[in-house]
A and B are shown apart, each in its own frame.
Chain A
Amino acid sequence: MSLANPMALVLLGLAAPVIGFYILKIRLRRTPVSTLLFWRKIFDEKKPRSLWQRLRHLLSLLLQLVFLALLVAAVSDPIFRWQQKQSRRVVVIVDDSAGMAATDLAPSRLEAARARALRLIEGMRHGDETAIVAASRPRVVCGATDHERTLKQALASIVQTDAPARMTAAVELARRLLSGSPKTPRIVVLTDAALDQAAELAASSDVELVALGARTGNVGITQLQARRSVVDPVGYEIMVEVENAADEPAQLRLELELGADPIDVVPLTLAPGARSVQMFEKTSAEGGRIHARLDKADALMADNDAWAVLPRRARQKVSLATPGNLFLEKVFEALPAVDLEVVKVAPETKPAKPAPAAAGAVHVYHRQTPETLPAGNVFVIDPQVSGPYWTVGEAIKQAVVAKQDRDSAYMANIRLDNVALPESRKLSFPAGARLLAETAAGDAILAAIERPGVGKVVVLGVDLDKSDLPLQTAFPILAANVLSEFGGAKGELRPALAAGSTAELDLAADLKAGESFVLHAPDGIETPIVLAPGATKATLGPLDLHGVWSVLRRSEQAAASARPAGAEFAPGDHLVVELACNIADRRETDLRAPEGITARPLESALALAVRPVWYYLLATAWLLTCWEWLLYQRRWID
C-alpha cells in the first residue's frame, strides 16, 4: 500500500489537542434539586459497576481518536497494490439523440444518463481513466483522463440534439480510444436502447449497455414535405407521415398551418404500431413555413412538431400588346399570380442582350411584333409579319392540327385536333425550334424557340378572331402552360431535412461585398458561415435541432446593431434561404427498446467496491460520528 498524499499524516498531531481537551474537566452546570434522596438511590445502585463506567468514559476518547485517524487516512488517500494493478480505461458513450429527450424518466432520459455517467466518474479508482463520447454525432467530448472535474465539465457540456443516434459509429470510436491501452478496457453505453443495433450491442462482450427509460409509447411525425404543384401554378402539396409507436391505439389531431394561417385539421385514429401517410393539396401563391403539429402530449414532444418550407410563387409581369381581343385579355387576367399590362401598340425595343434579370418579364404580342424582340420570354400570337425567329407564309383556309408534341410541357393537357383554325398562317421556323403543333400538311402553327441566355419565344399562328380556339378550354390551359414554362418554377421542392444532416448551399447569387452569411438556428443561436476564398458553396450543419434554420446575409452595419427584443432577426438582415429540419426518424420516435434486450444494470458496475479507499474511510468516519453522537445523546458515554 502506498499513500497518494503522505504529508497528510502530519494531521495525526491533532490527536494531542483531542486528548488534552478530554483530560481537561469542563465545568458542569449546577442544577438545584429539592432533595438528593432519590438520585442517590439510583446512582448508589450503580456503584458496583464503576469500573465499567470508567471504561465507558474512555470509549468516548477512543471514538474521537479513531475518527481523527480515519479522516487523516482519507486525506492521505491510500492506494493498494491491487488497485494499481486493476486500473481501467473506461469510455462512456452518452446517447444524446432525439429519443433521449423523452420525459418518462424525469426530467429526461439524457439527464438520467448524465446522472449515471456522473456516478461512474465519481466511482473512478486511482489509476482509472475515463473518456466521454457523444453518440448522435459521434465525437469525443472528453479524451481519456483521470481528472474528475474535467470529466464533469465535459459531461455537462453535452446538449440534447434532435439527431438520430449513430451508436455503431460511436462504439467504433470508443474502441479506437481503448486500443493500445494497457489498462482494462471498458465501454459503457448509456442509452435508451431504442436503437436498431441494440441487440448487437447488448451481445457484445466489450460493451456494457445500460438501458434507460421504460417501454414508453409515443406518437410522432416521422415525415413532412411540401412542394409546389406541377400542374397548378399556385397549388402545392403536403405529405405528412404520422406513426403511433405504442402498444396502445392513439386518437389525436393533426394540425397544419402555413405561416400563421391554419390550413387543415385532421383527426387521426392509429392502431398500435400503425403509420398514417396523409397528402394535402392546397392552393396559395404565398410561400412560407408549414408547421405540422400533433395535439397529443406524450413522452417525446419534439416529434410532435415538424416544419417544411414552401417556396413562394413569384408573380409574373405580363405585358400584352394587342389591337384588341377580349378573350385574350380575359385569359391572362384570369391566370393567378399574373400582373397584366395591356397596350395597344407594342413599344419599340432595343436589341436583346443576355440579361438573366429580365427573364421574369413576359411579353405577349398579338398580331404585332416589334422589329427587335425584347430580352426575356416572348409569346407571339398570330404574327402578321415575319420576325427574327419565324417566317410568316400564306394563310391556310381550314387548318386542322394533326400532330402535336405531347411530351412538351407547353402542350400538357391540351388537345388541338378538334379545334377549328381557319385562316391560320403558315409558319416556318429555323432549325432548333421545337414544333409543338402541325397540320396534316406539315405546316407548323405552334412552336417554341430557345434563346440561350436571353429567354424563350413561343409563336402561335392562329387568328383568334376567326378560330374557335378562344372558346375551347385548350386556350387558357395553353396560356397557363406557357407562363408556367416561362416562370420555370414547376413543382418546386425545397425538401425538409432530417435532423443531424448537413446541407450544401450555393451562395453565388447572394454574395455581395462587405456582407457576410450567418446560419440562424431554431433556438436563436447564430453561427457565421465561412466561405473559402473563391468558393461560393457552403456546407451547413450538421443541423441537429428540429425547426427552421435560416441563412441570413448580414451587412457590417447590421452586424453591429442590436437585435430588437422579440425579433427573430436583426434589422438589415436579408433572408437568403430557409431550411426545415425535422426529427423524421422512426427509430427515434419509437421509444420502446427492442424486445429481448437484456441491458446490464449499471448498479452492478457501480458496486461499492469500485469506489476509492478514501471514500470508505470518510464514510466510516461519518458513521462513527453519528454513532458517537447517538451514544452521547443517549448518555451511554460521557
Chain B
Amino acid sequence: MALFDSDFLQKLEYLSLVSRRVFRGQLLAQRRTKQLGGGIEFADHREYTPGDDFRYLDWNVFARHGDLLLKRFQEEEDLHVYILVDASRSMALGDPPKFDYARQVAAALAYIALAELDRVAITTIAGDVRADFPLTRGKGRILALLDFLEKQKPDGTHTDLERSARVFTRRGQRRGLVIVISDLFDPAGYARGLDILRHHGHELHLVQIHDRRDADPAFKGDVELYDVETDTIERVTVTERSLKQYRKVFAEFLESVKTYCHTYGVGGARSSTEVPFDELLLRMMRAAGALA
C-alpha cells in the first residue's frame, strides 16, 4: 500500500480544516513574527530619531502632548517551517516502521502549513543532513512534497543530531519554526543538537516517535542484540528482571525528553507508532491550543 494514498490525503484535508476552525492558526500559520515593520497592526510607540519615515509619526500624540513619537506596526510575514525528519536506520524498525510514521506526520504538518500560506521545507537527517525539499509555498506543492517524502529511505547511519543541526544552521536560512521528528536515539545524546537549533533563534518543536517494542521488548532468553544503527552486537541473557529494568530506563529516557522540552519551552509531542498519526496531530493541536 502506498504511504500517501487517497485516505491519507483525505485525512490531511480534515486536519487542515480542523486546525483552521479550532485553533485559529495558533500552531503554525497566521502567526505574527516578532519583527516589527510595515504591517497594519499597531504594536507600540518609540521616540522619533532623525531619518525616520515621517509617515509613521503619530500626529494625534504630537497634537495632544507635543511629543514626536513614531508608531510601530507588527510586520506580517510568512512563517518558515523547517521539518527535520530522522532517516537513521533505527527509524526503519517498528510496526509500522517509525520512518513511515514520521513521514506521515511530516506530510501532515507540511500540508497544514502550506494551506495557511506558510513556507515549508523538509530535510532528512541522520549522521548528517541527507536530503532537502527546499522552501516552498502554496497548497499546490503538496504533491511534490509527498513525492519527495515517499522517495526517502531510512538508510542513513547512526543518529547524530548535533552534526545535523550544525549543518542545517550553517546554511544561514531565515529563522522559523523547526520541527524535529525523530526517535532521538542519538548515542551522543539528543540535547546538544536541539540546543544548537534553539540557539540559532529557531522556534523548536519536537515530535518524538517510538515503537511499542522500543518501550517493551518482547523477547527473553539468550539473544544477540544487534544495534541497527551502529552495527554492534551485544550477547546478553534477557530475564524478566532485566526487562523490568529496561522498561524503567526507557521510561526515564522519555521523561528526560519531556523535562528538556518543559525546561526550554520547546513544544513537544511523544507518541508510539501504534497511535494513528492523525490522532497524534489532533493531540498536538489541542496541546498548542491549551498553551495559547
Contact = CB atoms under 8 A, between A and B. Distances in A.
Interface of A is mostly: mixed
A42 B242 contact: yes
A634 B94 CA distance: 27
Q: Which of B94, B220, B238 has the largest number of chain A CB atoms within 10 A?
A: B238
B281 to A, nearest CB: 23
Interface stretch (A29-37, A73-81, A133-141, A267-275): A29-37
Interface in B106-155: none
Interface string B223-254: 11111111011111111111001100110010
B249 A36 contact: no
B272 interface: no
B221 interface: yes
Interface size class of B (residues with CB under 8 A): 35 or more
B240 A634 contact: yes
Contact of A38 (B211, B223, B238, B249): B249
A85 interface: no
A35 B190 CA distance: 13
Interface string A36-47: 111111110000
A87 B222 CA distance: 51
Contacts of A26: 222
B93 A32 contact: yes
A330 interface: no
A636 B183 CA distance: 32
B185 A31 contact: no
Contacts of A41: 249
Interface in A23-76: 26, 28-43
Contact of A635 (B224, B237, B253): B237
B250 A36 contact: no
Contact of A33 (B187, B222, B227, B245): B227
Contacts of A33: 93, 214, 217, 225-228
Contacts of A37: 185, 187, 253
Contacts of A34: 90, 93-94, 98, 183, 185, 210-211, 214, 227-229
Interface size class of A (residues with CB under 8 A): 20 to 34
Nearest to B211: A34
Given A31-B224, A638-B222, A38 B253 contact: yes
A634 B239 CA distance: 6
A31 B187 contact: no
Contacts of B54: none
Nearest to A638: B237
A34 B183 CA distance: 9
B14 interface: no
A638 B219 CA distance: 15
Q: Which of A34, A39, A43 has the largest number of chain B CB atoms within 10 A?
A: A34
B227 A35 contact: yes
A53 to B, nearest CB: 9
A41 B93 CA distance: 21
Contacts of A30: 223-224, 226, 233
B219 A31 contact: yes
A29 B222 CA distance: 7
Contacts of B98: 34
Given A28-B222, A37-B187, A38-B253, 5 more contacts: A34-B210, A35-B187, A36-B227, A36-B234, A39-B234
Interface of A: 26, 28-43, 634-636, 638
Interface of B: 90, 93-94, 98, 183, 185, 187, 210-211, 214, 217, 219-230, 232-242, 245-246, 249-250, 253
17 contacts: A28-B223, A29-B222, A29-B223, A29-B224, A31-B223, A31-B225, A32-B93, A33-B214, A33-B226, A34-B210, A34-B229, A35-B227, A36-B225, A42-B242, A43-B234, A635-B238, A638-B237
Q: Which 4 A-B pairs have the closest CB atoms?
A: A635-B239, A34-B90, A35-B185, A28-B224
